Chain A
Amino acid sequence: MTDARSSPLNDILDRHRHDGTRLMQILRETQESLGWLSPATITAIAADIGWPRAKVEGTAGFYSFFHTRPMGEYRVLWSDNITDRMLGNLDLMQAMCQKLWLEPGRVSEDGLVSVDTTSCTGMCDQGPAVLVNYRAIPRMTPARVEHMVELIRTRTPLAEWPAEWFAIEDNIRRADVLLGNDMMPGDALKVCLARGADQPRIETASNERSFREAIHTGDAGPGATLDEIKRSGLRGRGGAGFTTGLKWEACRNARGTGENAAHYVICNADEGEPGTFKDRVLLTRQANLVFEGMTVAAYVIGAGKGYLYLRGEYRYLLEPLESVLATRRRAGLLGRNILDVPGFDFDIEIHLGAGAYVCGEESALIESLEGKRGVPRNRPPYPVTNGFLNQPTVVNNVETFAAAALVALNGGDWYRSLGTPRSTGTKILSVSGDCERPGIYEYPFGVTVRQVLADCGARDSQAVQISGPSGICIGPDEFDRRIAFEDIPTAGAFMIFDIRRDIFEVVRNFVHFFAHESCGFCTPCRVGTTLLKNLMDKIAAGHGTRYDINEIYNLNRVLQSAAHCGLGHTACNPLVHTLEKFRPAYERRLKSLEFQPAFDLDAALSEARQMTGRDDAAAHLATEPETSR
């Protein structure tokens, strides 16, 4: 780096216009180029964007995929969802570590490689999955592990690895209106414009968007389209189920403030809920429909700019999605004067996340989009009035935008005819776990769990975890319940566990997940999720008692009532649901004592044993004989 002006870092900073709100992309691209974010690099970035250095370091330190220490030329991260566990990821990871003479989480002495686990990477239907330098590789096998170790040892660039390793299957098993549609790009927008064509256009030239803002609901294109969205009954597909029409209307009615007054459309593709992968498939197969939905939203609320927040695990989708955007720009479906309508200006940019589940929460997502730590905001105010850059912002899930495009195209009444009266339309389920045909299933709302299980070839099912760890766990006596907002609402995850599975280990995996993903803002979630993790590990080690079960309930009460956001509120859900329905899974591990200290004398000697290389009987303390109940 003799010429400072043309260094990779300066090129990146120039490309991002030295804009601090673009810090996430600056950090990611810098790391892709330089390998890691050294203290000097962080100082240089902070000076360039005019932020305090510690604030830049704070952002870099928040996200799992940014490293402020060198992590090796090759970073292998094993997806550690329960579905990966069930497919044997831990054995494979251990084999890989042995072959590389590595401990998980540590960089090899020669700085070549590190191997670790990461939260669910969204490949549950084709696990066990890994990320190698943040590129997804599904379907790991012992043979692949062996081959991969060889490629790493010989420092073979990723570009020369077998191409078929990087192939991601869509596994669409059942398509309905969303996955089965064959809409031409722009068709929904043309219908939107036609809805307003017979209405007189009100031109006020005070600003570019004025003609849209001057039109009242119901008068012409944007208002008429909003009416169709409202009529459709469409509700958000990200889990919370807020009525889309009301959200758009509130945002449309909100005024931007200050010199940079604007409205924004954000698509939440931070699909982090373990067991969910339907947005990955939608963005692979129906990217045009999603972008069309975002453009419809922009038309309705009067937005000029949109962002797709793509989770870092889906890095491989960045280039294909950029190419879809480029095609749409060439077709006049993005950019200035869309479809030749003067002032209809809208463009979409893709923002890549960096491994933080909490950014799926919309206000944390906005913080992240602004270059900050992904910490959920205090609400109210809500994003519809004070969102991105404090301006009115619509944040919707990928599937919601795709559905909105179809509503715009076919009308609200058509959409309402699908599903149930309170849950209109279809829902895409990400089915994984113990079944013959894991993959993507799109159903009209109202389908029973039993039907889904039959369709995917699940046998001897013991439990289904619906909507991920923060959702609900149901047993066979509830399989006639329906997927719908009025019964079992879901963001899409559908993980099946048959009678061979240990539900306790399922829950322990989820509890570890929440502890890893807590943002740490509020006391109850930051400390409570780790306390829960320790409790579950204590029970797993055979030291649990009824006292510990009561502790779980106590912590649940505190997290439910005092946590800052949904992550903390729901972190105990898997525990509470399974304690109610699968209590023997816990009780068979308990000692019958009323109290058992978490401190394990024998375990405390493990370090000494390791240092002395001893593992004989005399190097162990006799543990107390188990008292039978």
Chain B
Amino acid sequence: MSEQTFNLDGQEIPFAAGQSVMQAALSAGVFIPHLCYHPEFRPHGSCKLCTVKINGRPATSCTTPACAGMEVESNTQEVLGKRRTLLQMLLVEGNHFCPSCEKSGHCKLQALGYELGVMTPHFNHFYPDRPVDASHPDVLLDFNRCILCELCIRASAEVDGKNIFALSGRGIGKHLIVNAESGRLGDTDFALTDKAAQVCPVGVILPKRKGFAVPIGQRRFDAEPISAHVDEFKPVTPGAGGRP
């Protein structure tokens, strides 16, 4: 039986049964921008950065199963323009000050901004009031940068078995909360070694006492654009849909 494929911007992409469009593309070395997707976790499709057009209709590539013969558009002006707007929405929703951020150069939001050519925030900043949580001895939580991707929630629940994080509020008031009556991370059993401490694509969950160990300019995405790191985002096992 010959390999099944779909077409992505003119390139034939092979896929294994059960793979999403995103997984197949990444496996084939084609980068599709994303923030809430992580190769080790089941996709849930909330950031919408990976929106593509499939057979002329918009679809979220991380949650859409690959099918033979699909015509997928990703790298078109129309699709890229919408991704730019989505990034700008995220940039004005939170408080993102790249020059002073410890995560600068390691931040996927910033890296995608460069990748997609986001030159301005375009919209008015919301400047939300989001207090920082420094109660934990080893970890700082800076909610200002949260983009609500839910990766820390998923990692803490599915890998660490601790359920440290959750979401509360609704709409523009949606926010990350900590599993403690006080609401403070210091009152949980969160540890720096938790998976949840490793997955934040932006700069919310930061280790204390380890600022700017690598100078800005020499960091992961400073040297090469995020699209050149495509291998890091490949599915862990081919065909796997992430953790159940």
Question: Interface residues, chain A, CB within 8 Å of chain B?
Answer: 39-40, 42-43, 52-55, 57-58, 60-64, 356, 373, 378, 515-524, 526-531, 534, 554-555, 557-558, 560-564, 598-599
Name B48's contact: one of A55, A516, A562 (CB within 8 Å): A562
- Hey, which chain B residues are within 8 Å of A598, CB to CB? 124
Could you say which interface size class chain B belongs to?
35 or more
Given contacts A61-B169, A62-B170, A564-B60, 6 further A-B contacts (CB under 8 A): A378-B63, A515-B171, A522-B46, A526-B172, A530-B126, A561-B51
Cβ 8 A contact of A518, one of B45, B47, B58, B170: B170
**A521 surroundings in chain B (CB, below 8 A):** 46
Q: Are B172 and A518 in contact (CB under 8 A)?
A: yes
Contacts of A520 in B (CB 8 A): 148, 169-174
| A529–B169 alpha-carbon span in the complex (Å) | 16
Return the 10 tightest CB-CB contacts between A and B, nearest first.
Answer: A61-B168, A54-B166, A520-B174, A52-B163, A561-B58, A527-B89, A54-B179, A518-B171, A58-B166, A562-B48
> Who on chain B is nearest to A42 by CB?
B181
Chain B, range 44-58, C-beta contacts under 8 Å to A? 44-49, 51, 53, 58
B93 at the interface (CB under 8 A from A): yes
Given A515-B171, A517-B171, A519-B171, A55:B148 Cβ within 8 A: no
B21-36 near A? 1/0 per residue, CB < 8 Å: 0000000000000000
Residue of A nearest to B153 (CB): A54
**Which residues of B have CB within 8 Å of A524?**
48, 86, 89
By the criterion CB–CB under 8 Å, are A54 and B165 in contact? yes
Q: How far is the CA of A530 from the CA of B127 in the complex (A)?
A: 13
Are A528 and B181 CB-contacts (below 8 A) given A378-B63, A520-B172, A520-B174? no
Q: List 12 A-B contacts (CB under 8 A).
A: A39-B182, A52-B163, A54-B163, A373-B170, A516-B171, A522-B46, A522-B47, A527-B92, A560-B58, A561-B82, A562-B48, A562-B51
In-complex Cβ contact of A52 among B47, B51, B166 (8 A): B166
Q: How far is the CB of B20 from chain A (nearest CB, A)?
A: 11
Docked complex Cα distance between A521 and B60 (Å)? 14
User: Given A43-B181, A57-B166, is A526 in contact with B45 using a C-beta cutoff of 8 Å?
Assistant: no
CB of B172 within 8 A of CB of A558, answer no
Q: How far is the CB of A221 from chain B (nearest CB, A)?
A: 37
Q: How far is the CB of B75 from chain A (nearest CB, A)?
A: 16
CB distance from A528 to the nearest CB of B (A): 7
A530, B171: Cβ atoms closer than 8 Å: yes
Partner pick for A529 among B163, B164, B171, CB 8 A cutoff = B171
Chain A residues with Cβ below 8 Å from B170 are 61-64, 356, 373, 518-520
Residue of B nearest to A517 (CB): B171
Question: Is A523 within 8 A of B48, CB to CB?
Answer: yes
Nearest CB in chain A to that of B179: its residue: A54
- Roughly how many angstroms separate A42 CA and B183 CA in the complex, as a whole number? 12
Interface residues of B in 87-123 (CB under 8 A from A): 89-90, 92-93, 123
Task: Give the residue name and chain of the B residue nearest to A358 (CB).
Answer: B170
Cα distance A60–B167 when bound, in Å?
Answer: 10
Residues of B with C-beta under 8 A to A373? 167, 170
Q: Does B85 contact A (CB under 8 A)?
A: yes
Determine whether the beta carbon of A53 is less than 8 Å from that of B171. no
Which residue from B86, B124, B167 sits with its C-beta under 8 Å from A558? B86
Query: Which of A40, A529, A554 touches B181 (beta carbons < 8 Å)?
Result: A40
A529 vs B126: C-alpha distance when bound (angstroms): 13
B174 → chain A closest CB, angstroms: 3
Q: What 1/0 flags go to B165-194 for Cβ under 8 Å of A?
A: 111111111100111111000000000000
Quick one: closest B residue to A43, CB to CB? B181
Chain B residue numbers with a CB within 8 Å of A599 are: 124
**Distance (whole angstroms) from the CB of A23 to the closest CB of chain B:** 13
* With contact pairs A356-B170, A378-B63, A534-B124 given, residues A527 and B51 touching in the complex (Cβ less than 8 Å): no
Q: How far is the CB of A305 from chain B (nearest CB, A)?
A: 26
Contact call B168/A530, Cβ cutoff below 8 A: no
B172 touching A53, Cβ below 8 Å: no
Give the complex CA separation of A569 and B130 in angstroms. 29
Question: Roughly how many angstroms separate A530 CA and B89 CA in the complex, as a whole number?
Answer: 10
A564 vs B60: C-alpha distance when bound (angstroms) = 9
**Residue from A58, A515, A517, A558 within 8 A of B177 (CB atoms):** A58
| A42 partner residues in chain B, CB cutoff 8 A | 181
B residues in contact with A518, CB < 8 Å: 170-172
List the B side residues contacting A562 at CB < 8 Å: 48, 51, 58, 82, 86
Is B167 a contact partner of A58 (Cβ separation < 8 A)?
yes
Among the listed A522, A530, A557, which residue makes an inter-chain contact with B172, where contact means beta carbons less than 8 Å apart? Answer: A530
Q: What chain B residues lie within 8 Å of A55 (beta carbons)?
A: 163, 166
CB distance from B172 to the nearest CB of A (A): 4
Closest Cβ of chain B to A400, distance in Å, is 27
Instruction: Give chain B residues whose Cβ lies under 8 Å from the Cβ of A356.
Output: 170
